[in-house]
Amino acid sequence: MSEATTNSSTQTDPQAGALLFIHAQTGLHPGSGTALGTVDLPVQRERHTQWPIIPGSTLKGILRDACRRRGGNNADLFAAFGPETAEADKHAGALSLTDARILAFPVRSLKGVFAWVTCRAVLERLKRDLKLALPNGNALNLSAEWPSEDKKEWALCQQNSPLLIDGDKLVLEEFEFKRTGDADAFAAWLSQHAVADDATQKRLQSHLVVLHNDDFTHFARHATEIVARVGLDYERKTVKSGALFYEEFLPAETLFYSVVLASSSRRDGHNRSAQQILQYLRDNMPSVLQIGGDETIGKGLCAVRLDING
């Protein structure tokens, strides 16, 4: 591509966007540090909703390291993510990432093993973020007939979902819900955009359940995994003093998304349009990333997918 063409593209395309979908393959601990409650090491959560998040700074650092390991042109790496710390005042990186927001949360089911649960508030926020990242992409259709928000314990899911008992009932954890409509449009969109493997795409369509906002929030707050961790005295085979602690994990199969925005390169002498910056990320991003703590015990392995076209 000629320099004139590149400069023209930069001027006419000042910003581009994408959605980064994150699908946890193992337990995930985006930690918030030590807490004073029953759980010593909780996961990070939004202050106002108490829904789990993955900080944008964490994601950006992980992506930068993954692209660096792929090698290639350091000028492209520095243009996308910013220069090394010693030269941080030279220019800002062209990529911006939001905190990863919850999209669907896995909850055990009496039938069908488990369901991915979400809610109207999550879907409405996804629709808003989709317009921000991909204004010309395929919009999420939210035209379903929603039950009254005053009445809880309703559920939207596929008519022939394997989760259903006696035709219209679901039991998630210890709670019973009644199917009042379908979630086919949401499930089809998510299966097409959020996950890549065929088996998960098929399962997501039949196992997605849309709940009342409050019911979803209950599961997102209380249906996580709490694991006791210990340090042993090898001679006595007892727990060391102060070495017993409890750590919170988000379960495998949790789905997140982050808004990725790109501008044209700010690096002197490096002409790259916003679309080229996004394409660099897509070309150098691996299909699986390790996110959060406890890497050496297999935690935090996540399948990632960058949706540029919508």
How far from 187 is each of 49, 73, 117, CA to CA, in Å?
23, 39, 11
Q: Is the pLDDT of residue 102 over 90?
A: yes
Q: How confident is the model at residue 3 (pLDDT cuts 50, 70, 90)?
A: very low
Q: Are 114 and 161 in contact (CB under 8 A)?
A: no
How far from 220 is each of 212, 214, 260, CA to CA, in Å?
12, 10, 24
Q: What is the pLDDT at residue 4?
A: 44
> Judging by beta carbons within 10 Å of its beta carbon (0-12, 13-18, 19+), is residue 28 exposed, middle or buried?
buried
Q: Is the pLDDT of residue 121 over 50?
A: yes
Condensed to tens digits (0 to 9), the pLDDT of residues 211-225 reads 999 999 999 999 999
Mean pLDDT of the chain: 90
* % pLDDT > 70, the chain: 95
Q: Are 100 and 199 in contact (CB under 8 A)?
A: no
Token pair in block for residue 247: 């750590």
Condensed to tens digits (0 to 9), the pLDDT of residues 145-203 reads 888 878 889 999 999 999 999 989 999 999 999 999 999 999 999 999 999 999 999 99
Quote the CA–CA distance of 152 and 284 in Å, as a whole number: 45
Q: What is the pLDDT at residue 238?
A: 82
DSSP string, 257-269: EEEEEEE---STT
| Ranges 59-68, 95-104, 146-155, 287-296: which has the least confidence | 146-155
**Residue 296 DSSP class:** G
Q: How confident is the model at residue 55 (pLDDT cuts 50, 70, 90)?
A: very high
Condensed to tens digits (0 to 9), the pLDDT of residues 239-285 reads 887 788 899 999 999 999 999 999 999 998 888 999 999 999 999 99
Quote the CA–CA distance of 306 and 281 in Å, as a whole number: 9
Domain range for 209 is 3-307
Q: Is the pLDDT of residue 13 over 70?
A: no
Q: How confident is the model at residue 10 (pLDDT cuts 50, 70, 90)?
A: very low
Number of domains composing the chain: 1
Tokens 């998960």, located at residue = 200
In this structure, the strands spanning 100-108 and 114-119 are: antiparallel
CA torsion, points 88, 63, 26, 229, in degrees to nearest 10? -20
Quote the CA–CA distance of 38 and 224 in Å, as a whole number: 14
Quote the CA–CA distance of 304 and 25 in Å, as a whole number: 10
Quote the CA–CA distance of 172 and 219 in Å, as a whole number: 9
Q: What is the pLDDT at residue 89?
A: 83
**Residue 31 DSSP class:** B
Nearest to 193 by CA among 117, 297, 304, 281: 304
User: CB atoms < 10 A from the CB of 292, how many?
Assistant: 23
| Ranges 18-27, 82-91, 162-171, 211-220: which has the least confidence | 82-91
Q: Is the pLDDT of residue 5 over 50?
A: no
Q: Is the pLDDT of residue 32 over 80?
A: no
Q: Is the pLDDT of residue 46 over 50?
A: yes
Q: Is the pLDDT of residue 86 over 90?
A: no
Q: How confident is the model at residue 38 (pLDDT cuts 50, 70, 90)?
A: confident
Q: What is the pLDDT at residue 1?
A: 40
* % pLDDT > 90, the chain: 73
- What percent helix, strand, coil does the chain show, rounded to 5? 30, 30, 40
